[in-house]
Amino acid sequence: MNTSNRRIYIDIDDVLSHTIARLGQLLHQHFDKRVPYEEITEFDLARSFGLEEEEVERFLEIAHEPDAIRSIALVEGARPALEGWSRAGYEIHLLTGRPPFTEDATRAWLEQHAIPHVQLDFVDKYGRAHAWGEDVEVLDLDDVRQLEFCLAVEDSLEVAVFLAAELEVEVALIDHPWNRDPSRIPDRARERIVRCRGWSEVVARFPDP
């Protein structure tokens, strides 16, 4: 475990917020489709939700509306866990893969739920920055390499592997259907990725990161 710093990396969607559940509600409301949570086995929403290319564009516009973002529910146990780490002197750094034009709505959601943090960064985790506009400044994964964390909490298996293998950071991977394929975890990352079924397990496993 890296004890040289007291910074903790926290993702937002489906780590702090029940994003997929809200997206499922929007899918039913606007496209009259239902996809059970356990069937969402891919991070690609077009494939998981069975949407055509033009439908995906419309769906993402709906999903990124400020009211939609502010209406996402908070994950149980998230705030007490972050409050406990903050009281113990850890710095909470939020690194999200959301497009940066959602910043105002994201900050409003964080304030609404009193989420403790010292930094919020938008990161091009999945190579999508080209669609966000040329003048938008975001971090990329090479930038993240320059940062030091004693722990990361993620739901993306791809990003968890990057953090564990490339940055040698222990990762609490919040369990979801889209991150359960063990064949996607290389040996060099396997020992640093700890699957957790919720925040109670994260805190139990990492009471003092």
Q: What is the pLDDT of residues 81-96, one digit of tens each?
A: 999 999 999 999 999 9
Range of the domain at 64: 19-70
**Which CATH number characterizes residue 168's domain?**
3.40.50.1000
Q: Are residues 120 and 178 in the same domain?
A: yes
Are 115 and 41 members of one domain? no
Cα dihedral: 169, 172, 177, 181 (round 10): 40
- pLDDT, residue 137, reads 74
Q: Are 147 and 94 contained in the same domain?
A: yes
51 and 114 in a single domain? The answer is: no
Q: Structure tokens of 46?
A: 């077009």
Among 32, 49, 70, identify where a domain stops.
70
Q: Do 83 and 34 belong together in one domain? A: no
Query: 118 lies in a domain?
Result: yes
Alpha carbon distance 105, 158 (integer Å): 26
DSSP assignment letter at 191: T
Residue 146 lies in a domain: yes
**Residue 147 belongs to some domain of the structure:** yes
One domain, residues 144 and 63: no
Q: How far is CA 112 from CA 2, 16, 56, 87, 190, in A?
A: 32, 13, 28, 20, 36
Examine the fold and report which residue of 52, 70, 88 is the final residue of a domain before the chain moves on: 70
Other C-beta atoms closer than 10 Å to the C-beta of 81 total 24
Q: Is residue 169 part of a domain?
A: yes
Tokens of 97: 């893969």
Same-domain pairing of 79 and 132: yes
State the alpha helices, DSSP H only, in the chain.
19-31, 45-49, 53-63, 66-70, 78-87, 103-112, 141-145, 157-166, 187-190, 199-205
**pLDDT at res. 144:** 93
Residues 134 and 195 in one domain: yes
The total of other beta-carbon atoms located within 10 Å of residue 174's CB is 24
What is the rounded distance in angstroms from the CA atom of residue 104 to the CA atom of residue 76? Answer: 23
**Confidence at residue 1, expressed as pLDDT on a 0 to 100 scale:** 42
Residue 197 backbone dihedrals phi, psi, to 5 degrees: -85, 0
- Indicate if 131 and 168 belong to the same structural domain: yes
133 and 201 assigned to the same domain: yes
Tally the domains of the chain.
2
2 is a domain residue = no
Same domain, 28 and 12: no
Does residue 103 share a domain with residue 160? yes
What is the CB neighbour count within 10 angstroms for residue 53?
7
- Residue ranges of the chain with pLDDT lower than 70? 1-4, 128-136
pTM to 2 decimals?
A: 0.93
* Chain segment 108-123, per-residue pLDDT in tens: 999 999 999 999 999 9
